[in-house]
């Protein structure tokens, strides 16, 4: 176990190693009808199967007063490399969400879907239902390579599909070999012969301990950095020359999670390591970055176990040397590239083949019939069978691959249900905002995020208008805790929850994703947030240089020290 002593392993490490290939006692937990929860050790293992045990935190006090156990349920996250789904699969998703969850289809910040509020008795039927439409949740959570994100809009590159295919290849490369998922959830016959089981489930990548912590990979296609490539453990930047993909710049060590009051934890952007040429080199480099983290990552303190800490402990050059040693080839110098934005391109766009794409504004990724009949409209679009669906890393949705002859039919549905007006009328800041789930289901939340940010923006918009900034695409992101799921540290304005109704205010990120922000004010409530932003936007409107963004202004004016 190279750098880690068995005696110092965290409790989660011991659970993984004793889990019989992630099986644990999950079958027994599911059969226990006395409780809505599963056994304690199984709560760590079930993540590898794509779900978290949660409870309705809004009802904890009420249920405790009645001497009832908390209202446990499960969040299921799908594995959708690059965020792609066919129309038939989307119809299936709609129906499964309605039958087994709260009904809300939640787009994550990594291009996939989460369903919340699934009761224990519904978990297995939910997974079985997804299996019928060829979708699974393997490795969507847990200490493994998670959903692989890829630049979502084909309009940016004639070879988008070639690059997009890497998301599926890398996802396959990073799948565990255990058959536990198929046995537990899909009732496949267990491998009873020990020798056969050892052979079939032999896992050179993950062995019996998997990774020290979650591992995230993003693929960017310049000039749009919509995947926030440098916030990933491993980032690939497509390099295109003369219309051909020649390889990828590779960066490693990104990650945004921190812990309040723990100075040893910090957000970090990935460090550029170099360039890899062609598919064989690319996949080999990806694999070996993962194996270095497997062998050298911290397995005693989970707060310090992400790849960013491994790289800082080893040093970037030493990490690169180890990577080259394991790959058996030298990385080339990184190639020039340019990012000009990292936003979703709303509205209609056409690609080089003449196919049409419509990007829908979906506030904080919640597909539901709330302000507008969004969920119903998207189902009607899917029923035409004329489109695909592509989820974005900004919690958006692209209705994609529409032939010219079918555009009018899709457009009519979007118009009739008010979706085009809803998208067109949303303000610039609102369209670029991101919020994590937070309350009422996330056990780590200290403050609200997706339930609160829309109303906060409603109060911020008049302030922006007062200073003529209503069309300024300032990136604003909120999380209910410091773990960074909504990427708040990479925003021009970040709100990080500290307690209910209170947030740290961060400033100074850039629009392209090359710079993290810094804390400006600590533990402030809504009146203080609005007061601070009023003063900041007034200064910005009066003193900004031509074309200067808010984040760049904050740094130039030394409002924060980067």
Residue range 71-87, pLDDT digits in tens: 999 999 999 999 999 99
- Asked if 214 is an active-site residue, the reply is yes
- Determine the pLDDT at residue 155: 78
Range 111-136 average pLDDT: 98
Q: Examine the pLDDT at 2 and tell me if it is beyond 60.
A: no
- Catalytically annotated residue among 146, 213, 320, 342: 146
Question: Active site includes 77?
Answer: yes
Rounded to 5 degrees, what angle do the CA atoms 478, 438, 24 make?
135
Q: How many residues does the chain have?
A: 562
Per-residue b/e over 468-506, b at no fewer than 16 CB within 10 Å?
Answer: ebeebbbbbbbbbbbbbbbbbbbbbbbbbbbeeebbbbb
10 Å CB burial of residue 131 (0-12, 13-18, 19+) is middle
Q: Is 430 an active-site residue?
A: no
Instruction: Identify the active-site residue in 23, 120, 268, 436.
Output: 436
Phi then psi for residue 435, to 5 deg, are: -140, 145
Is the predicted pLDDT of residue 500 greater than 80, yes or no? yes
The answer to whether residue 193 scores a pLDDT higher than 90 is: no
Give me the catalytic one of 16, 23, 77, 375: 77
Residue 248: strand, helix, or coil: strand
Q: Is 442 a catalytic residue?
A: yes
Q: Of all helices (H) and strands (E), which one includes residue 98? A: helix 87-100
Mean pLDDT value across residues 421-426: 97
How far, in Å, CA of 332 to CA of 328, rounded?
Answer: 13
Among the options 485, 487, 511, 515, which is catalytic?
A: 485
Structure tokens at 32: 């226990």
pLDDT attached to residue 6: 53
481 catalytic residue (yes or no) = yes
Q: How does strand 397-402 pair with strand 356-360?
A: antiparallel
User: Could you say which of 16, 106, 216, 268 is catalytic?
Assistant: 216
**Residue 7: its pLDDT value, please?**
65
What integer is the mean pLDDT of 199-205?
94
State yes or no: pLDDT of 21 exceeds 90.
Answer: yes
Average pLDDT, the chain: 96
Write out the two tokens for 136.
Answer: 């699974």
Q: Which entry of 442, 477, 487, 511 is annotated as an active-site residue?
A: 442
Q: Report residue 250 as tokens.
A: 């590779």
Task: Tell me how far apart the alpha carbons of residues 530 and 523 are, in angstroms, rounded to a whole number.
Answer: 13
Could you read off the pLDDT of 518-537 as tens digits, one per residue?
999 999 999 999 999 999 99
Parallel, antiparallel, or unpaired for β 234-241 and 113-118?
unpaired
Query: Could you tell me the pTM of the whole model?
Result: 0.96
**Residue 138 pLDDT greater than 70, yes or no:** yes
Pairing state of beta strands 476-479 and 434-435? parallel
Distance CA 141, CA 492 (A): 28
Please check the confidence at residue 4 and state whether its pLDDT lies above 70.
no
To the query of whether residue 327 is one of the catalytic residues in this protein, the response is: no
Superfamily of domain 430-557: Sulfite Reductase Hemoprotein, domain 1 (3.30.413.10)
Of 110, 141, 150, 481, the catalytic one is 481
**pLDDT one-digit tens code per residue, 297-314:** 999 999 999 999 999 999
Residue 57 annotated as catalytic? no
């Amino acid at each position: 176990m190279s750098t880690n002593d068995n005696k110092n392993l965290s409790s989660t490490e011991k659970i993984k190693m004793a889990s019989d290939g992630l099986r644990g006692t999950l079958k027994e937990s599911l059969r226990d009808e006395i409780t809505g929860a599963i056994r304690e050790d199984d709560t760590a293992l079930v993540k590898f199967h794509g779900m978290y045990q949660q409870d309705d935190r809004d009802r904890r006090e009420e249920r405790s007063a009645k001497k009832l156990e908390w209202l446990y349920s499960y969040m299921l996250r799908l594995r959708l490399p690059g965020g792609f789904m066919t129309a038939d699969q989307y119809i299936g998703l709609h129906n499964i969400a309605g039958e087994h969850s709260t009904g809300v289809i939640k787009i994550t910040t990594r291009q996939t879907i989460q369903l919340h509020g699934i009761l224990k008795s519904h978990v297995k039927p939910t997974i079985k239902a997804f299996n019928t439409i060829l979708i699974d949740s393997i490795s969507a959570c847990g200490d493994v390579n998670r959903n692989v994100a890829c630049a979502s809009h084909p309009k940016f590159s004639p070879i988008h599909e070639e690059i997009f295919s890497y998301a599926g290849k890398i996802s396959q490369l990073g799948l565990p070999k255990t058959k536990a998922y198929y046995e537990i959830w899909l009732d496949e016959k267990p491998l009873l012969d020990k020798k056969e089981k050892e052979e079939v489930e032999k896992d050179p990548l993950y062995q019996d301990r998997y990774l020290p912590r979650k591992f995230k990979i993003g693929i960017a296609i310049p000039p749009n950095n919509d995947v926030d490539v440098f916030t990933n453990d491993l980032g690939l930047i497509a390099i295109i020359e003369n219309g051909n993909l020649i390889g990828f710049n590779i960066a490693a060590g990104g990650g945004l999670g921190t812990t309040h009051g723990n100075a040893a934890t910090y957000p970090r952007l990935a460090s550029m390591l170099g360039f890899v040429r062609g598919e064989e080199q690319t996949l080999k480099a990806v694999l070996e970055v993962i194996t270095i983290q497997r062998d050298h990552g911290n397995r005693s303190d989970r707060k310090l176990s992400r790849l960013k800490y491994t790289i800082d402990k080893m040093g970037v050059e030493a990490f690169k040397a180890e990577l080259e040693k394991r790959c058996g080839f030298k990385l080339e110098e990184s190639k020039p590239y340019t990012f000009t934005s990292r936003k979703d391109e709303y509205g209609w766009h056409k690609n080089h083949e003449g196919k049409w794409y419509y990007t829908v504004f979906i506030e904080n990724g919640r597909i539901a019939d709330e302000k507008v009949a969004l969920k119903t409209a998207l189902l009607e679009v899917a029923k035409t069978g004329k489109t695909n669906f592509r989820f974005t890393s900004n919690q958006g949705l692209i209705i994609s691959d529409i032939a010219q002859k079918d555009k009018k039919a899709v457009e009519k549905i979007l118009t009739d249900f008010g979706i085009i007006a809803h998208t067109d009328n949303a303000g610039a800041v609102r369209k670029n905002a991101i919020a994590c789930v937070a309350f009422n289901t996330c056990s780590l939340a200290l403050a609200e995020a997706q339930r609160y940010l829309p109303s906060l923006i409603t109060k911020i918009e008049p302030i922006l208008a007062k200073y003529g900034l209503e069309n300024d695409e300032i990136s604003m992101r909120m999380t209910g805790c410091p773990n960074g799921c909504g990427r708040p540290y990479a925003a021009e304005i970040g709100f990080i929850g500290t307690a209910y109704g209170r947030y740290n205010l961060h400033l100074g990120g850039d629009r392209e994703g090359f710079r993290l922000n810094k804390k400006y004010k600590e533990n402030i409530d809504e009146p203080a947030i609005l007061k601070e932003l009023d003063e900041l936007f007034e200064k910005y409107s009066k003193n900004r240089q031509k074309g200067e963004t808010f984040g760049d202004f904050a740094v130039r004016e030394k409002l924060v020290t980067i």
